[in-house]
Structure 1
Amino acid sequence: MIGYLNVILRLAIWFLLTADLSGANIVIGVAVALLLPRSYTAPGAFRDWLRALAETLVAIPQAYQEAVEIILRPHRREAITMERVKPQRTPGLIFLDIFLITFTPKTIVLKYHEDGWYEVHRIQPGRSPKP
């Protein structure tokens, strides 16, 4: 089941990159998704994929809410924080985590550290400190 989710994720990325749903592009996308090498790490639990999907559905209205907040009350303070990667994450789930963090307007992942940390840039409400 997880193999299907990886293929679907690869196809979704392909369609987002190409922005073309023609028959030829679909065939090429399926071929690319199937021919890309697979990772040999332990497959993610189906429960983790469902949780990531639920987080994605929550992130969409959150992104709109944050965009409106930024428009109405400009955010001038910035902070760079380190967030721990959830344990036993597959590369596909790590990609989804980074996507979810970056999807909302107030945060962006600056760097993924191989030792299990994300470096996240956040903007926060309030005025910036005076120099």
Structure 2
Amino acid sequence: MNKEINKNEIKAVINKYLKSIEKAEDIHLAEEIWSNSSEVSFIHPRGHEHGWEEIKQNFYFETMRDMFSKRKLQLVGDVSIQTYGEIAIAEFYWKFNATFREDGEALETKGRESQVFHKTKNKGWILVHVHYSNMPVTGEREGF
């Protein structure tokens, strides 16, 4: 039962994460779910951020808020969650729809993501690491 409760709590944080991307202008949503430590990290196709301040500035503001006028990040399929005491790892696939702020052009991408959480006394489960990438390639001589 305890493990299932943990998984539901983590799924709730993932749902807030999805909303934090959609509402990137409101950084308070992201601040609720991320550790504000200088040790957190975020690996994404446009960069590798170290510390909450870099994640906030380079990912939430410069990438999500400033590049796109609209954003929608959705889960595709189930979320896999493994808990290890006060640490948890989630894996999932996603679809991202956005509108470029500069010219109004639509964008749709698909990818996969892993997230690492730490359980704290004050905030509950919080993000300490995210790594996302494009969908796997399966063609001959691809993905090396």
Q: TM-score normalised to the size of structure 2?
A: 0.25
The one of the two structures with greater contact order (alpha-carbon pairs below 8 A, sep at least 6) is 1
Bigger fraction of residues in helix: 1
Which structure: greater strand fraction?
Answer: 2
TM-score by length of structure 1 reads: 0.27
